[in-house]
Amino acid sequence: MKKKKILMIGTGGTIASKITPNGLDPQLTSEEILAFIPGISEICEVDTLQICNIDSTNIAPDIWVLMTDTIREKYEQYDGFVVTHGTDTMAYTAAALSYMIQDSPKPIIITGAQKPINMEITDSKTNLFDSFLYASSDSASGVQIVFNGKVILGTRARKTHSKSFQAFSSINYPYLAIIQDGRVISYITKEKAPAPRFYDSLDAKVALFKLTPGVDSDILAYMLERNDAIIIESYGVGGIPSAPEYGYFEVINHWIGQGKTVVMTTQVPNEGSDMEIYKVGHELKSRVNILEAYDMITEAVVCKLMWILGQTQDPARIKQLFYTTISNDILY
């Protein structure tokens, strides 16, 4: 049986880091990383390509565009792609690529590690091996994170542990598969689309406002003035302080009238928002043309808005696209 041909795209992160006097710093190239796992050649053929070598704290929408352009340029030459990436913003990149490369019949796997690959004790080798194994499976397609033996949909991943090897969780959605003892055990598979759809335009002027007790609505107004969309990360099932002295209703209504997009989501990791339950949410939603994230995770909401606003500024079209399910990002 002919081996799959996979392109490994290096972007930096812990997996590529060396110890320096100032802390870990990405310095290893994708070719150097691959040399640590020679057994990969038994699974698939691998080429490497380095597009950047950064700590993922420095990730930005222009790098997502570069990743997308790279995959589009190489798409017909390979059976799948493995992107090595820092863990801190990996979930954002997975979400961004899910919107920028839709319906890919080929797998686009994002992985990394909590410990550098050149350390004696590291999760790098296992994560990388598992990623190539999954990328080589016939059932794999679309954008996923492979980490600690779990396969997580790109629109549902969140980093939930800052140091542990089990760094990522799948939020409001099951794991697609697990990888054990060199075997892929698939739980969810989907019919592959005939061809991918690529997008190369993002609007980076999307910001997150985290509601905290006593925070002044002037801060929200300041952020709305300088951005095209704001996501309000509220408490519980979603709402906003309703006492007149806070002035939130007026601020939100004013800036929506100026063409800004406002989305309500929750700070709670699981189960999503439901603004209809409490008066503080119901009243806002009934009076103001605000969007609601429901079961979407914040990382997906941020990237979906960037993608939507990169396509249109029409409020009706924005709403339609926001509530359109893409890669199972919103289900209720």
Name the E strands within 288-331. Answer: 291-292
Determine the Cα–Cα distance for residues 141 and 147; give it in Å rounded to an integer. 16
The single residue of 14, 68, 93, 261 carrying the catalytic annotation is 14
- 327 annotated to bind ligand: no
Q: Which amino acid is located at 154 in the chain?
A: G
Check whether 47 is labelled as a binding-site residue.
Answer: no
In three-state secondary structure terms, 3 is coil
Give the residue among 146, 122, 142, 129 at the shortest CA–CA distance from 41. Answer: 129
Asked whether residue 265 is marked as a ligand-binding residue, the answer is no
Beta bridge partners of 73: none
How far is residue 36's CA from residue 46's CA, in Å, rounded to a whole number?
13
Burial 143-153 (b: 16+ CB within 10 A, else e): bbbbbbbbbbb
Token representation of residue 131: 């990623």
State yes or no: is 87 an active-site residue. Answer: yes
328 C-beta neighbours (distance < 10 Å), count = 18
What is the distance in angstroms between the CA of the first residue and the CA of the last residue of the chain? 42
Q: Are 92 and 303 in contact (CB under 8 A)?
A: yes
Helix (H, G, I), strand (E, B) or coil at 168: strand
Do residues 301 and 294 touch, judged by C-beta distance below 8 A? Answer: no
| The CA-based dihedral angle spanning residues 180, 182, 183, 188, taken in that order and rounded to the nearest 10 degrees | 60
Catalytic residue, candidates 11, 48, 84, 87: 87
**Two tokens, residue 33:** 């990383």
- Contact (CB, 8 A) for 252 and 290: yes
Integer CA distances (angstroms), 138 to 43, 80, 108, 184, in order:
13, 10, 13, 10
Question: Which tokens in the block code for residue 288?
Answer: 């103001």
- Does 298 qualify as catalytic in the annotation? no
**Binding-site sequence positions for substrate:** 56, 87-88
Active site residues: 14, 87
**Binding-site sequence positions:** 56, 87-88
